[in-house]
Amino acid sequence: MESELSILRKYLRSELWAESSLAPVHLDPDRVALLIVDMQYLDAHPDYGMGAIAKEKNQIKEFEWYFEELPKIVKNQRELIRVCRDKNIEVIYTRICSLTRDGRDTSYFYSRTLPIVTPIDSKEAQILEEIKPRDDDIVIIKTTDSAFNSQYNLDRILRNMGIQILIICGVVSNGCVESTVRDAADFGYDVITVSDSSLSFTRLQHEVALLEQNMFYSRIKSTSEIISELNSANKAVPKSKMEYSSLSLPQKEVRVKY
Residue 251 lies in a domain: no
Look at residue 75 in the predicted model and tell me its pLDDT. Answer: 98
What's the chain's average pLDDT? 87
Q: Average of pLDDT values for 222-228?
A: 97
DSSP per-residue letters across 192-234: EEEEEEEE-SSHHHHHHHHHHHHHHT-EEE-HHHHHHHHHH--
pLDDT band at 251 (very low <50, low <70, confident <90, very high): very low
Terminal Cα distance for the chain, rounded: 29
pLDDT band at 108 (very low <50, low <70, confident <90, very high): confident
pLDDT band at 254 (very low <50, low <70, confident <90, very high): very low
Q: What percent of the chain has pLDDT over 90?
A: 72
Q: Average of pLDDT values for 163-192?
A: 98
Distance in angstroms (rounded) separating the CA atoms of residues 198 and 160:
27
Q: Is pLDDT larger for residue 10 or for residue 34?
A: 34
Name the domain count of the chain.
Answer: 1
Residue 258 lies in a domain: no
CATH number of the domain within which 157 lies: 3.40.50.850
Residue 96 lies in a domain: yes
Q: Is pLDDT larger for residue 187 or for residue 237?
A: 187
Residue 101 lies in a domain: yes
Q: Average of pLDDT values for 29-43?
A: 97
Residue 14 lies in a domain: no
Query: Would you say 210 and 258 are in contact if contact means Cβ atoms under 8 Å apart?
Result: yes
- Assess whether pLDDT exceeds 50 at residue 217: yes
When mean pLDDT is compared across 11-15, 130-134, 139-143, 185-189, the lowest value belongs to: 11-15
When mean pLDDT is compared across 69-83, 94-108, 150-164, the lowest value belongs to: 94-108
Residue 79 lies in a domain: yes
Residue 243 lies in a domain: no
Q: In degrees rounded to 5, what are phi and psi of residue 170?
A: 135, -155
- Assess whether pLDDT exceeds 80 at residue 58: yes
Q: Three-state SS for 68?
A: helix
pLDDT band at 177 (very low <50, low <70, confident <90, very high): very high
- How would you list the strands of the sheet with 90-96, edge to edge? 138-142, 90-96, 32-37, 165-171, 190-199, 219-221
Look at residue 5 in the predicted model and tell me its pLDDT. Answer: 53
pLDDT band at 151 (very low <50, low <70, confident <90, very high): confident
Residue 252 lies in a domain: no
Look at residue 247 in the predicted model and tell me its pLDDT. Answer: 44
Q: Average of pLDDT values for 226-230?
A: 97
Host domain of residue 170:
21-238
Q: Average of pLDDT values for 78-86?
A: 98
